[in-house]
Amino acid sequence: MRDLGVGFGYLLAGQRWVARHGRAYGFGLLPGLITLLLYAAALTALALWGEDAVGWATPFADGWPSPWLGLFRGFLTAVLFALGLLLAVVTFTAVTLLIGQPFYEALSEQVDRDVSPDGTAPESGLPLWRELWISARDSLRVVVRAALWGVLLFALGFLPVVGQTVIPVIGFFVTGFFLTEELAAVALQRRDVDLRARLALLRSRKTLVWGFGTPLGLAFLVPFVAVFLMPGAVAGATLLARDLLGEDTEEPDPHDPQHQQHQQHQQDRQGAADPAAPVSGTGTPRPPR
Q: Of 102, 104, 275, which Cα lies nearest the Cα of 182?
A: 104
| Residue 156, H or E segment | helix 128-156
- 63 by DSSP, 3-state: which? coil
Q: What is the pLDDT of residue 269?
A: 46
Integer Rg of the chain from CA: 22
Please report, in tens digits, the pLDDT of each residue of the chain (289 residues total).
788 889 999 999 999 999 999 888 988 898 989 988 998 898 888 888 888 888 888 888 888 888 888 888 888 888 888 778 777 777 787 788 888 888 898 899 999 999 988 888 888 777 777 877 888 888 888 878 887 887 888 788 777 887 778 888 888 899 899 989 999 999 999 998 988 999 999 999 999 999 999 999 888 877 678 889 999 999 999 999 999 998 877 655 555 444 444 455 445 544 444 433 433 333 333 344 3
Residue 90 vs residues 11, 190, 221: alpha-carbon distances, Å: 19, 23, 10
The pTM for the full model equals 0.72
Residue 76 vs residues 65, 73, 218, 232: alpha-carbon distances, Å: 17, 5, 26, 38
